[in-house]
Amino acid sequence: MVSKITKFEFFDDLLSSNFVSDEKLVSLAVLGNISRKETETKTSLALKILYESVYGLDEILNILFTEDGLRQICEVLELNVSKKSKRNMIGMIINALPTKQKRKIETVIDEHLEDSERLIIYNLFVMYKSGVCLFSYNLEPLEIGDSSLITSALNAINSLLMEITQTNTSLDSIDIQEKQLIFEYIGDIVGVLLLNKETLLAKRLLHEFLSEFNEKYKIELYPWTGDTLIFEDAVDLVKKDFGGYFIK
List C-alpha distances in Å: 179 to 44, 86, 122, 194, 209: 41, 28, 9, 7, 21
The pLDDT score that the predictor gives to residue 213 is 94
The pLDDT score that the predictor gives to residue 154 is 62
- Judgement on whether residues 36 and 110 belong to the same structural domain of the protein: yes
The pLDDT score that the predictor gives to residue 4 is 42
Query: Which residues, given as ranges, of the chain have pLDDT below 70?
Result: 1-7, 104-118, 140-177, 243-248
Q: What phi-psi label fits residue 192: left (phi over 0), alpha (psi between -120 and 50 degrees) or beta?
A: beta
- Judgement on whether residues 188 and 234 belong to the same structural domain of the protein: yes
Q: Among 117, 146, 173, which residue terminates a domain?
A: 117
For 200, the domain range is 121-242
Q: How many CB atoms lie within 10 A of CB 217?
A: 20
Residue 22 belongs to some domain of the structure: yes
CA 57 – CA 160 distance, rounded (Å) = 40
Q: How would DSSP label each residue in 144-163? A: TTTHHHHHHHHHHHHHHHHH
What CATH number does the domain containing 182 carry?
A: 3.30.450.70
The pLDDT score that the predictor gives to residue 212 is 92
Residue 80 belongs to some domain of the structure: yes
Q: Render pLDDT for 110-142 as a digit per residue (tens, 0 to 9).
A: 444 454 556 778 888 898 877 788 998 887 655
Strand duo 133-138 + 173-176: pairing: unpaired
Residue 2 belongs to some domain of the structure: no
Q: What phi-psi label fits residue 10: left (phi over 0), alpha (psi between -120 and 50 degrees) or beta?
A: beta
- Judgement on whether residues 228 and 177 belong to the same structural domain of the protein: yes
Q: Among 93, 117, 141, which residue terminates a domain?
A: 117
Residue 209 belongs to some domain of the structure: yes
Q: Render pLDDT for 138-148 as a digit per residue (tens, 0 to 9).
A: 876 555 444 45
Domains of the chain: total: 2
